[in-house]
Amino acid sequence: MRVLISGANGLLGQHLVQSRSQEFEILGIIRSKNLTGIRVECETRELDLTQFSEVIQVLDTFAPEVIIHTAAEGRVDAVQERIDEFRTLNVKLPSLLSKYAKNSGAQIVHLSSNAVFGGRAESYSDYSGLDPINDYGVLKAEAERSVIEQNPGALIIRPILMYGWPQPSGRQNPVTSWIANLREGKKIRVVDDVWTEPLAAWDCAEAIWCALDTDMSGPLNVSGGVKMSLLEFAHKVASVFELDSSLIEPASSGDFPTLAPRPGSTSFDLKRLTEELRFHPLSPLEGLEKLKHDEPAMGR
Ligand SMILES: NC(=O)c1ccc[n+]([C@@H]2O[C@H](COP(=O)([O-])OP(=O)(O)OC[C@H]3O[C@@H](n4cnc5c(N)ncnc54)[C@H](OP(=O)(O)O)[C@@H]3O)[C@@H](O)[C@H]2O)c1
């Protein structure tokens, strides 16, 4: 099977490449011109995905049977108040890929986010209504609607706070930046009023392969299944990595007024993941232990 993966050097993309079935022919799309230290274990093509005519050329040549679209501007604060600037990448591109997949008979997997939800006490189901509260979430919600409109058979994956070792030049995630700071003996301030369900990036990749195996379509919420505040999570990271937890200072969202608003509390009921796919993600503790175990293999 020919599978095109956009963002192949990103956090999720690299795990998708690593965990693919050996029978698959993978083409990874990467943007970076400077590839120093980057390891992508598949054939790659450098491409700025906002250049749509080049995107179509690559698609026509490779003729993928599956498109897994992970690439996006994922920095929530970078997108805030710059919604028009990022609409091409975060909405028009997935819409175009979805239409292409519909016309060519390929399966499309689009990476959305928990940010399509605004945060509330009860869990969100796979089919809950979308109510984003920041511009990144607004674009992800627009993209979901457009992808499904173009192609009702599309699979929409909604991960939540993913962690894992990024590529050397890749975007840090809270876990890796907490570890780096604590190792240098720096204090970190972590909010205790944002509740989430941290997800290991490799589990998200496995869930996607699993969903593709069953020809699943529609929205799929994916999380680590255990709800905790960011502060609690930071303490768990310090404990597993044997770092000084006295360097972690509690804060509240109001202490960071320049940042985009975050959903206060997001949890998923994981019905489709656990009942339809029978996929059971690692708990944050199990995930962090694996992260620690894998650190040498990631060349750190
Ligand atoms: N990480 C999370 O906690 C999280 C949570 C919910 C949803 N998501 C979503 O899940 C998906 C994957 O996330 P991730 O953490 O793996 O993201 P990531 O590590 O930031 O990777 C994103 C990838 O997209 C590529 N990209 C961005 N703009 C591009 C362009 N114009 N042309 C070509 N490539 C481009 C980046 O290339 P460069 O390396 O060159 O920048 C990078 O490889 C994203 O859609 C994100 O919004 C992530």
Residue 11 belongs to domain with CATH number: 3.40.50.720
Residue nearest to atom 47 of ligand 1 (CA): 74
Pocket probe mutation, ligand 1, options 4, 19, 31, max atoms within 8 Å of Cβ: 31
pLDDT in the model for residue 34: 67
How far apart are the C-alpha atoms of 293 and 22, rounded to whole Å? 24
Give domain status of residue 190, yes or no.
Answer: no
Give domain status of residue 74, yes or no.
Answer: yes
pLDDT in the model for residue 98: 98
Task: Work out which ligand 1 atom sits closest to the CA atom of 75.
Answer: 20
Distance 77 CA to ligand 1 centre (A): 14
Contacts of 230 (CB under 8 A, 6+ apart): 174, 190, 191, 192, 194, 196
Residue nearest to atom 19 of ligand 1 (CA): 10
> Can you give the residue range of the structural domain that contains 157?
2-164+198-225+266-282
Give domain status of residue 143, yes or no.
Answer: yes
Ligand 1 pocket, residue 190 CB under 6 Å: no
Distance 230 CA to ligand 1 centre (A): 21
CA-wise closest residue to 114 among 168, 74, 84, 169: 74
pLDDT in the model for residue 50: 98
Q: What's the pTM value of the predicted model, to 2 decimals?
A: 0.97
Give domain status of residue 17, yes or no.
Answer: yes
Which segments of 160-213 are extended strands (E)? 162-163, 188-191, 195-196, 199-200
Give domain status of residue 113, yes or no.
Answer: yes
pLDDT in the model for residue 275: 98
Measured CA to CA in angstroms, residue 223 lies from 27, 50, 88, 281, 284 at distances of 27, 29, 27, 7, 10
How far apart are the C-alpha atoms of 288 and 282, rounded to whole Å? 9
Cβ atoms of 169 and 121 within 8 Å: the answer is no
How far apart are the C-alpha atoms of 154 and 156, rounded to whole Å? 6
DSSP sequence for 69-138: E--S---HHHHTT-HHHHHIIIIIHHHHHHHHHHHHT-EEEEE--GGGS---SSPBPTTPPP---SHHHH
Amino acid, single-letter form, for residue 198 = P
Q: What phi and psi, each to the nearest 5 degrees, are found at residue 120? A: -165, 170
Give domain status of residue 252, yes or no.
Answer: no
Per-residue pLDDT of the chain (300 residues; tens, 9 = 90+): 999 999 999 999 999 999 999 999 999 999 976 667 778 889 999 999 999 999 999 999 999 999 999 999 999 999 999 999 999 999 999 999 999 999 999 999 999 999 999 998 799 999 999 999 999 999 999 999 999 999 999 999 999 999 999 998 888 999 999 999 999 999 999 999 999 999 999 999 999 999 999 999 999 999 999 999 999 999 999 999 999 999 999 999 999 988 999 999 999 999 999 999 999 999 999 999 999 999 967 655
Looking at the 3D structure of the chain, how many domains does it have? 1
Ligand 1 pocket, residue 40 CB under 6 Å: no
Place of tokens 């627009």: 142
Ligand 1 pocket, residue 11 CB under 6 Å: yes
Give domain status of residue 254, yes or no.
Answer: no
CA-wise closest residue to 206 among 2, 15, 3: 15
Distance 84 CA to ligand 1 centre (A): 18
Ligand 1 pocket, residue 9 CB under 6 Å: yes
Task: Work out which ligand 1 atom sits closest to the CA atom of 74.
Answer: 47
CB burial string 227-250: b at 16+ within 10 A, e below: bbbbbbbbbbbbebbebeeebbee
Residue nearest to atom 24 of ligand 1 (CA): 71
